[in-house]
């Protein structure tokens, strides 16, 4: 055992460095505790499996919708004198959106325009009148009653069938789609055939339940004795259920 100057020096160094070593050990312990707590907090923050969906998160839903606007029609019909018609375009739909990138619906589209003719021997042409006959006054003296040929009516065109919409950038932005189904044209009598259409537009979603859109499309119908092509531009509204 050394009791000389060297031993005294070592004891003096150990005595003077003891507070430093104690402070260093305490600092390391605090850092280790802080690092462990930070890791635990980060794990809790990153585990979002039990949290409710954040605002704006897409949820599958059913919806109903309607649209209204303007349409131009080119019609070939044996009873129609003027093949070019214009008038309102309206639609109703109900469907389901399983993804933010596409949806399916059953849609009914309507187009109409008033048509008239001077006598029953002529074909009907575009005008603005409701249905009436050649006999203007059935109670007037000399009238035998019974009416006559239809000289004014409303040209009606309907289509109904499934529709699909693709939204490649999600619920907001451009979309495109197509539909196919049954076509109907009513002049004096109703003709039935097939109809198909393609459409595109842009839409925006408000509060996750209301979607507003501007849409344009082209529809074609082929019937037993007639055919029609319709171009339309509408504003549309959808409500999520």
Residue 23 clears pLDDT 90, i.e. is over it: no
What pLDDT was estimated at residue 130?
Answer: 37
For the chain, give the mean pLDDT. Answer: 79
pLDDT per residue over 190-207, tens digit each? 999 999 999 999 999 988
DSSP-assigned letter for residue 80: B
Residue 106 clears pLDDT 90, i.e. is over it: yes
With H, G, I as helix, E, B as strand and everything else as coil, classify residue 5.
helix
DSSP 87-155: EEEEEEEEEEEEETTEEEEEEEEEEEEEEE-SSTTSPBEE-S---EES-S-TTSTT---S--SEEEEEE
Q: Map out the domains of the chain as residue ranges.
A: 1-51, 61-134+148-240
With H, G, I as helix, E, B as strand and everything else as coil, classify residue 18.
helix
What pLDDT was estimated at residue 158?
Answer: 95
pLDDT band at 134; cut points 50, 70, 90:
very low
Range from 8-17, 68-77, 210-219 carrying the lowest mean pLDDT: 8-17
With H, G, I as helix, E, B as strand and everything else as coil, classify residue 31.
helix
- Is the domain 61-134+148-240 a CATH 3.40.50.720 member? no
Residue 147 clears pLDDT 50, i.e. is over it: yes
What is the Cα gyration radius of the chain?
39
What pLDDT was estimated at residue 45?
Answer: 54
pLDDT band at 129; cut points 50, 70, 90:
very low
As a whole number, mean pLDDT of residues 73-91 equals 90
């Amino acid at each position: 055992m050394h009791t000389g100057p060297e031993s005294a020096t070592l004891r003096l160094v150990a005595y003077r460095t003891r507070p430093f070593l104690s402070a260093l050990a305490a600092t390391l312990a605090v850092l280790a505790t802080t690092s462990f707590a930070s890791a635990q907090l980060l794990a809790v923050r990153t585990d979002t499996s039990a949290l409710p969906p954040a605002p704006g998160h897409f949820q599958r839903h059913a919806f109903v919708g309607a649209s209204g606007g303007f349409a131009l029609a080119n019609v070939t019909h044996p009873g129609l004198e003027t093949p070019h018609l214009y008038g309102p375009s309206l639609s109703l739909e109900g469907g389901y959106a399983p993804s933010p990138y596409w949806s399916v619906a059953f849609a009914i589209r309507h187009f109409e325009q008033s048509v008239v003719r001077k006598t029953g021997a002529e074909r009907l042409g575009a005008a603005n009148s409701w249905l009436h006959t050649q006999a203007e006054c059935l109670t007037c003296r000399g009238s035998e009653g019974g009416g006559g040929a239809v000289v004014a009516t409303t040209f009606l065109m309907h289509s109904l069938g499934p529709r699909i919409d693709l939204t490649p950038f999600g619920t907001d932005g451009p979309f495109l789609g197509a539909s196919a189904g049954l076509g109907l044209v009513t002049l004096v009598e109703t003709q039935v055939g097939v109809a198909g259409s393609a459409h595109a537009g842009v839409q925006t979603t408000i509060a996750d339940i209301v979607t507003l859109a501007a849409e344009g499309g082209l529809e074609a119908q082929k019937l037993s004795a007639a055919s029609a092509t319709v171009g339309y531009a509408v504003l549309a509204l959808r409500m999520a259920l």
